Amino acid sequence: MVLSNQAQRAWKTGTAILSSLTAFHVVFQVDYGDHDHCFSDIQKWYRNKMDTILLGNDAVNAANDTAAASAAAATSLSSESINISNININDGIENERVGKR
């Protein structure tokens, strides 16, 4: 079946639009996990720009400052809690072994 020129033009236009939307989604929207990938930098830039547009510049700066402070606090607390939990777990194992003898 041969398509008319108008139908072919519509098909090509629709294909170009759908391909562009798919590429936009793959580059900017898809979450590839926590590890770095080839789209990490452009996704960070895009998300920062969208936050600035939707929330305003002051809200984005305040959110970034809060997130950075909480991430630094969580990192220092998590390393301390890991060390403390390892000590507690090892003490509990030693106490159980002594009690079984």
Whole-number Cα distances in Å, 74 to 30, 42, 66, 69 = 27, 26, 12, 9
pLDDT tens digits for range 59-87: 667 767 677 767 666 665 545 444 454 45
Question: What's the 3-state SS for the chain?
Answer: CCCCHHHHHHHHHHHHHHHHHHHHHHHHHCCCCCCCCCCHHHHHHHHHHHHHHHHCHHHHHHHHHHHHHHHHHHHHHHHHHHHHHHHHHHHHHHHHHHHHC
- Specify the pLDDT at position 66: 73
* pTM greater than 0.85 (yes/no): no
Q: What percent of the chain has pLDDT over 70?
A: 60
- Specify the pLDDT at position 55: 85
- Contact (CB, 8 A) for 27 and 42: yes
Lowest mean pLDDT among 26-30, 33-37, 60-64: 60-64
Gap between the Cα atoms of 20 and 30, Å rounded = 15
